[in-house]
């Protein structure tokens, strides 16, 4: 399992911090640049801990930073004891910055692994359910055929009475109204999953219908507030719903549309402001206030 960083975040005004000003006072801007190079090496190391216990490896790191060993030791002493930018732990260099970033990234990676496991298990259950359904259907067909054969055997010639076929009234089900912004909303869902889990969802089986039910509910809630269901409104409300669902600990680890649909009311309740009963978000692109009310 990967336990290092491909990138890390730091504040854009970090150079104004007293630690970097202290570093530049002695080593100028080149000294700060060398710190960032060292920090990159730390971030790439296992556990974001750069091993300097081996003399040859330490000499190699020093050479990469244009130091000889004595200069490198003096530079490290400044980073550790004076500037408080680096920590030495059991022959390893680490920085609070990379450790904090690693913790956040590993939490995200754990959610991604759990999401993949849940998705794999769900797909397997769907496949198993389909196969079992086919077996049951075959067995029922055999039973019906057997009863029909027995009925024919027990019927004598000339005593057959015509059977009236009962016509069942077929109730025409009204087809759900097509969502005018469906493609755009699906694109929002795919982008959100890729952003949070680095993987696009399968979007198969009951996923489209589960998503459609959630969208219909969002659309209904907008209509109740006389909010026009434009493309901007639809995407804003859908993205906000997904974002609030992701903040739920269980849903973030089981982020599948069937779960989102079943937990829909819970997500709506989380969108409600505890102070006045509504959650409001100004949508500048729409020009209207979006309100999510209690279900």
Which residue among 81, 100, 119 closes a domain? 100
Instruction: Tell me which residue has tokens 């434009």.
Output: 230
Q: How confident is the model at residue 16 (pLDDT cuts 50, 70, 90)?
A: very high
Least confident of 72-81, 91-100, 116-125: 116-125
Q: Is 225 within a domain? A: yes
- Residue 135's pLDDT is 63
Task: List helix spans (H) across the chain.
Answer: 18-44, 55-64, 69-77, 96-153, 182-197, 207-224, 231-246, 249-253, 257-262, 264-270
- Answer yes or no: is 230 within a domain: yes
For the chain, what is the domain count? 2
Min mean pLDDT across 52-56, 172-176, 288-292 is at 288-292
Residue 140 lies in a domain: no
Per-residue pLDDT, 58: 92
Distance CA 292, CA 218 (A): 9
Write the DSSP symbol of residue 201.
-
The confidence band for 60, taking pLDDT boundaries of 50, 70 and 90, is very high
Q: Give residue 271's pLDDT band: very low, low, confident or very high (50, 70, 90).
A: confident
What domain range includes position 88? 14-100
Domain annotation covers residue 262 = yes
The answer to whether position 96 is within a domain reads yes
Structural tokens at position 285: 């692109």
Q: What is the share, in percent, of the chain residues with pLDDT greater than 70?
A: 76
Q: Is residue 167 part of a domain?
A: no
For 22, the token pair is 């202290």
Compute φ and ψ for 171, nearest 5 degrees. -85, 115
Q: What is the chain's mean pLDDT, rounded?
A: 81
* pLDDT tens track for 238-255: 999 998 888 888 888 888
C-alpha 86/C-alpha 94 separation (Å) is 6
pLDDT, tens only, 84-102: 999 999 999 999 999 999 9
Cα 99 off chain centre by: 22
For residue 46, give the CATH number of its domain: 1.10.10
For the ranges 58-67, 103-112, 196-205, 268-277, the lowest mean pLDDT is seen at 268-277
Exposed/middle/buried for 251, CB within 10 Å: 0-12, 13-18, 19+? buried
Last residue of a domain, one of 84, 100, 116: 100
What is this structure's pTM?
0.45
Q: In the block, which residue shows the tokens 């700060």?
A: 32
User: Region 258-284: what's the mean pLDDT?
Assistant: 67
* Residue 121: inside a domain: no
Q: Is 236 within the bounds of a domain?
A: yes
- b/e code 87-100 from CB counts within 10 Å (16+ = b): eeeeebbbbebbbe
User: Residues 130-140: what's their mean pLDDT?
Assistant: 66
Give the dihedral of Cα atoms 231, 236, 237, 243; nearest 10 deg: 140
Of 49, 71, 100, which marks where a domain is finished? Answer: 100
Tell which phi-psi region holds residue 45, choosing left (phi > 0), alpha (psi between -120 and 50) or beta. Answer: beta
Q: Greater confidence, 251 or 281?
A: 251
Does 289 have pLDDT greater than 50? no
């Amino acid at each position: 399992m990967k336990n290092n960083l491909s990138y890390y975040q730091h504040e854009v005004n970090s150079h104004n911090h007293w630690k970097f000003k202290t570093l530049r006072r002695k080593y100028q801007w080149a000294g700060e640049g060398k710190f960032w190079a060292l920090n990159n090496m730390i971030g790439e190391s296992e556990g974001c801990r750069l091993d300097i216990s081996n003399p040859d490896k330490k000499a190699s790191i020093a050479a990469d930073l244009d130091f000889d060993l004595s200069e490198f030791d003096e530079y490290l002493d400044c980073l550790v004891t004076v500037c408080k930018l680096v920590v030495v732990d059991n022959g390893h260099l680490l920085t609070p910055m990379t450790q904090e970033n690693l913790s956040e990234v590993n939490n995200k990676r754990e959610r991604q692994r759990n999401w993949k496991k849940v998705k794999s298990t769900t797909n397997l259950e769907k496949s198993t359910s389909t196969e079992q359904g086919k077996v049951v259907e075959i067995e029922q067909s055999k039973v019906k055929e057997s009863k029909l054969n027995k009925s024919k055997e027990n019927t004598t010639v000339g005593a057959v009475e015509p059977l009236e076929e009962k016509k069942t009234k077929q109730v025409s089900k009204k087809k759900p109204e097509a969502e005018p912004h469906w493609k755009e909303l699906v694109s929002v869902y795919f982008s959100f999953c890729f952003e949070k889990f680095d993987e696009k969802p399968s979007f198969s089986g009951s996923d489209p219908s589960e998503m459609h039910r959630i969208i219909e509910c969002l659309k209904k809630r907008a209509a109740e507030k006389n909010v026009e269901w434009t493309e901007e409104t639809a995407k804003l409300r859908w993205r906000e719903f997904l974002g609030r669902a992701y903040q739920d600990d269980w849903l973030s680890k089981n982020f599948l549309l069937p779960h989102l649909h079943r937990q829909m009311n819970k997500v709506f309740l989380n969108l409600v402001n505890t102070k006045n009963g509504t959650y409001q978000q100004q949508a500048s692109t729409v020009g209207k206030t979006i309100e999510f009310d209690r279900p």
